[in-house]
Amino acid sequence: MNRYLILTIVFIGFMFSGSLRTFSQTEPITNEITLGIRQGNSREISKFFGPNVDLTLPGSEGAFSNSQAEVILRTFFTRNTPSAFTISHQGTSRDGSVYAIGTMQTRQGQVFRVYFLLKMVGEVFQLHQLQFDPN
């Protein structure tokens, strides 16, 4: 019985350390995306796009090329100038993807729930999905 308890604790420790390693790898990317959203800087955010991005914005939803997604995001930020953005929750999914959920407030007084997903592609994390849903 004692042996199984020790093996379980070791297994949980390895799982937890893997999550920490993933977070430490993506923390700089998450911080730069957060800053890009806070500043309404589509160019900064688009640095992390892969060849295609799943984008959901009021009036635009779909899979877009990275250049199309950057233009759509720039237009969105022009119409909805951010005044604040905070992440309320972030985590790692079973496949190693990293996600973050937050709230963006605009100068126009609107509030958006923001979700983004980073996936490992080759040796780098890429911004795979970005959503702005009005609250």
- List the pLDDT tens digit at each of the 135 positions of the chain: 566 656 566 555 555 544 444 445 668 899 999 999 999 999 999 999 999 999 999 989 999 999 999 999 999 999 999 999 999 999 998 888 999 999 999 999 999 999 999 999 998 999 999 999 999
Residues 4-34: b if buried by 16+ CB within 10 A, e if exposed: eeeeeeeeeeeeeeeeeebeebbeebbeebb
For residues 131 and 114, give the distance between their C-alpha atoms in angstroms, rounded to a whole number.
Answer: 6
Interacting residues of 129 by C-beta distance below 8 A, sequence separation 6+: 53, 54, 55, 56, 115, 116, 117
CATH number of this structure's domain 2-134: 3.10.450.50
Q: Model pTM?
A: 0.80
What are the domain boundaries of the chain? 2-134
Closest CA to 126 of 63, 46, 17, 24: 46
